[in-house]
């Protein structure tokens, strides 16, 4: 999509990103319909396609956002006919409760399948022929999206084969490459993969997905900050004591043990999701809501991160691994007893981290990030804890525990915004109590409700990169975390100890001490229920 921004080519140019979509005021509250295009999905026989991509694309079709000039080609190494692939996708939708029996027959007419060896460059000539044949039938004008839903080890051979076959450009339309995380496992591997990508594709063709950024409530953080004069003036070190970001899961590793054993929670969650949430919660306001300008401000946050104190890492990091326990009344295995996990595994399934942003707005404000598996509750949220008043005039009137004011931005599972403040207790006595002003995000809205993958897939079709990770952003996040990951991977003296915690519990006790030592505390787990 052509850039309409008068700001294009200013500061963001130095970040290596290009300006993208800017929304005309008259169309701001309407969903765009993308141009005709195709999507070629590598790794089509995998779980991601069945659970996330096909349901998301079907919903876009149901919303009448995707028209008839759209088709999908699934590509994988498994021999399969198109009819069998369609049936596998239909069954996956039915099993997950996402099947729309009325829309599916029409939608599935645009689904095809072919198998090939990802590294066989000769086979890509046949793939190119198939794409061009379907483009003529569906009238997609040469607009193509190549989606890598494969294991990361396959990224390089697929990208190189696409280039060798001339599929990095259609000649008549645009071509885009979508890459799922993890994008490398450290700075070195990420740079190596980037060199492969940029030999074949231009940076403005590359879309690095972080589906967390596609969640409506993540985008609402920017709206809340920059559209309301009651919040932005106090969004700084003068009024905020600290910020907490939590991504808690009740699930274990499920069928991902092979991947998770090699990654651990820091590579899996912090390098992408957690740091990206941090950038959105702390970025400076861009002059316009435009993809290049937003990306530029997020990059500035990553550049300002203070290096973690590796010589005193226990003051800034706690890692843990879940033991056996109970979730929802049923017993669950320890991580080491999960299929595919080494019996002496040192892989962390939980991490809590304290970090600082060395800039004018946030100097001295600590940020506490935590994420873990097999915890008591599922929740992803950003909590802004404000400073206490300089003098508590009503100290003798407090009944029970009165904490600081807080703004809670719940991202999942129940999307909401809560403001916690103090007020008088009803009655004749002057007594203070905590109250919560609670706004459910979906209350009073009857329009299209998009899931994260629906949003990011649509944005990719539209050419809007606001919710995607730039090359520089990916490199900066790896540069921040790689020294820590090296310390953990090597183990030995100076490495953080692995604290075991009970599945279905609250995580390692040391995580509480990380905050309590400074007179602070995590949001209470009972508040998530």
The DSSP secondary structure of 312-367, one letter per residue, reads GGGGTEEEEEEEEEEETTEEE--GGGSTT--TT----SEEEEEEEB-STTTTT-EE
Cα end-to-end distance, the chain, whole Å:
43
Q: Which residue has the tokens 């809670």?
A: 408
Dig out the tokens for 2 from the structure.
Answer: 């052509």
Prediction pTM value: 0.89
SS3 label, residue 20? coil
Dig out the tokens for 151 from the structure.
Answer: 């294991």
Provide the sign of the torsion angle of the four alpha carbons 524, 304, 289, 208, taken in this order. negative
Catalytic residue, chosen from 115, 211, 273, 422, is: 273
Partners of residue 146 on adjacent β-strands: 40, 177
Contact (CB, 8 A) for 76 and 46: yes
Distance, CA of 192 to CA of 432 (rounded, Å): 58
Clarify whether 273 is annotated catalytic. yes
pLDDT in tens, the chain (529 residues): 333 333 333 344 444 333 344 444 445 566 778 999 999 999 999 889 999 999 999 999 998 899 889 999 999 999 999 999 999 999 999 998 889 999 999 999 999 999 999 989 889 999 999 999 999 999 999 999 999 999 888 999 999 999 999 999 988 899 999 998 878 889 999 999 999 999 999 999 999 988 888 888 888 899 999 999 999 999 999 999 999 999 999 999 887 888 899 899 999 999 999 999 999 999 999 999 888 999 999 999 999 999 999 999 999 999 999 999 999 899 999 999 999 999 999 999 999 999 999 999 999 999 999 999 999 999 999 999 999 888 777 666 655 556 789 999 999 888 899 999 888 878 767 777 788 899 988 887 777 778 889 999 999 999 999 889 999 999 999 999 999 999 999 988 889 999 999 999 999 999 999 999 888 999 876 665 5
SS3 label, residue 119? coil
Rounded to the nearest angstrom, the gap between the alpha carbon of residue 51 and the centroid of all alpha carbons in its chain is: 16
Partners of residue 440 on adjacent β-strands: 416
What domains can be seen in the chain, in order of their start residue? 11-25+35-209 (3.40.50.720), 214-391+471-522 (3.30.360.10)
Distance, CA of 426 to CA of 433 (rounded, Å): 10
The DSSP secondary structure of 453-476, one letter per residue, reads HHHHHHHHHHT--TTEE-HHHHHH
Distance, CA of 317 to CA of 484 (rounded, Å): 10
* Cβ-count burial 285-323 (b if 16+ within 10 Å, e if not): ebebbbbbbbbbbbbbbbbbbeebeeeebeebbbbbbbb
CB-CB neighbours of 89 under 10 Å: 26
């Amino acid at each position: 999509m052509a850039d309409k921004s008068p700001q294009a080519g200013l500061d963001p140019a130095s970040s290596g990103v290009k300006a993208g979509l800017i929304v005309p005021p008259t169309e701001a509250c309407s969903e765009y319909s993308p141009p005709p295009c195709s999507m070629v999905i590598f790794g089509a026989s995998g779980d991601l396609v069945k659970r996330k991509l096909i349901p998301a694309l079907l919903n876009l079709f149901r919303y009448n956002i995707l028209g008839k000039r759209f088709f999908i080609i699934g590509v994988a190494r498994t021999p399969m006919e198109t009819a069998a692939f369609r049936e596998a996708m239909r069954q996956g939708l039915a099993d997950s409760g996402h099947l729309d029996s009325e829309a599916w027959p029409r939608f599935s007419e645009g689904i095809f399948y072919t198998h090939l060896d990802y590294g066989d460059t000769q086979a890509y000539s046949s793939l190119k022929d198939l794409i061009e044949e379907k483009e003529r039938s569906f009238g997609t004008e040469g607009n193509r999206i190549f989606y890598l839903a494969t294991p990361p080890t396959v990224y390089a051979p697929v990208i190189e084969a696409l280039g060798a076959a001339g599929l990095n450009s259609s000649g008549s339309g645009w071509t885009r490459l979508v890459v799922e995380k993890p994008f490398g496992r450290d700075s070195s591997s990420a740079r190596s993969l980037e060199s492969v990508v940029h030999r074949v594709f231009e940076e403005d063709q590359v879309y690095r997905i972080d589906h967390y950024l596609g969640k409506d409530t993540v985008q609402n953080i920017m709206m809340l900050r920059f559209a309301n004069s009651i919040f932005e003036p106090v969004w700084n070190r003068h009024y905020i004591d600290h910020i907490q970001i939590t991504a808690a899961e009740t699930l274990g590793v499920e069928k991902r043990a092979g991947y998770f054993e090699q990654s651990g929670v820091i590579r899996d969650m912090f390098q992408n999701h957690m740091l990206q949430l941090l950038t959105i919660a702390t970025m400076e306001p861009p002059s316009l809501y435009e993809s290049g300008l937003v990306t530029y401000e997020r990059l500035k946050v990553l550049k300002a991160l203070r290096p973690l104190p590796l010589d005193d890492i226990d003051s800034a990091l706690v890692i843990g691994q879940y033991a056996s326990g109970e979730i929802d009344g049923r017993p669950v295995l320890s991580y080491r007893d999960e299929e595919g996990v080494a019996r002496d595994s040192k892989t962390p399934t939980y991490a809590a981290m304290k970090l600082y942003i060395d800039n004018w707005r946030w100097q001295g404000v600590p940020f506490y990030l935590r994420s873990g598996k097999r915890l008591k509750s599922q929740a992803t949220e950003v909590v802004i804890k404000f400073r206490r008043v300089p003098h508590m005039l009503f100290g003798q009137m407090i009944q029970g525990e009165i904490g600081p004011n807080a703004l809670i931005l719940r991202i999942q599972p129940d999307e909401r915004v809560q403001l916690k403040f103090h007020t008088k207790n009803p009655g004749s006595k002057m007594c203070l109590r905590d109250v919560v002003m609670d706004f459910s995000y979906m209350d009073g809205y009857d329009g299209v409700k998009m899931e994260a993958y629906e949003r990011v897939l649509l944005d990719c079709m539209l050419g809007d990169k606001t919710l995607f990770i730039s090359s520089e952003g990916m490199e900066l996040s790896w540069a921040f975390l790689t020294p820590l990951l090296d310390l953990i991977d090597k183990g030995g003296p100076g490495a953080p100890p692995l604290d075991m915690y009970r599945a279905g519990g609250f995580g390692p006790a040391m995580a509480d001490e990380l905050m309590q030592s400074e007179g602070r505390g995590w949001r209470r787990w009972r508040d998530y229920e």
